[in-house]
Amino acid sequence: GAAREEEAREEAAREVAVEEAAAREAAREMAVEEEAAREAAREAAAAERVRVEGEEEVSREVVKGEAAMEEVYQEEAARQEEAAKTEEVERGEEAARERSAAGGRTA
């Protein structure tokens, strides 16, 4: 009976050792999966930063584009205003010449 009890204890000890090894392996796999999850989270955060930076860059470019268009509009408005003034001055000079010519004929 004693030999059989010893054999049963050894068998139980082997089963415990196998279960402990399996538990250690499961813990290692879990640690690997957790590291993979952390890495995925880091990559997602990096991708989000890139996306946000991209949106900010697009916003900056839109603002620059709008400012450039505003400048073009203002330059065009100034050019048109200048052209209108020049035309008004030329009409005034022409009217003055016509008056002086008319005045010269009657004199």
If you compute the radius of gyration of the chain from its CA atoms, what whole number of angstroms results? 46
- Report the alpha-carbon distance of residue 41 to residue 39 in Å, rounded: 5
pLDDT of 105 > 90? The answer is no
Q: How many residues appear in the chain? A: 107
Residue 16: its pLDDT value, please?
Answer: 97
Residue 107: its pLDDT value, please?
Answer: 56
Percent of the chain with pLDDT over 70: 96
Read off the pLDDT of each residue in 73-83 and give the average, rounded to a whole number. 96
- Report the alpha-carbon distance of residue 56 to residue 48 in Å, rounded: 12
The SS3 call for residue 1 is coil
Reported as a single tens digit per residue, the pLDDT across 21-72 is 999 999 999 999 999 999 999 999 999 999 999 999 999 999 999 999 999 9
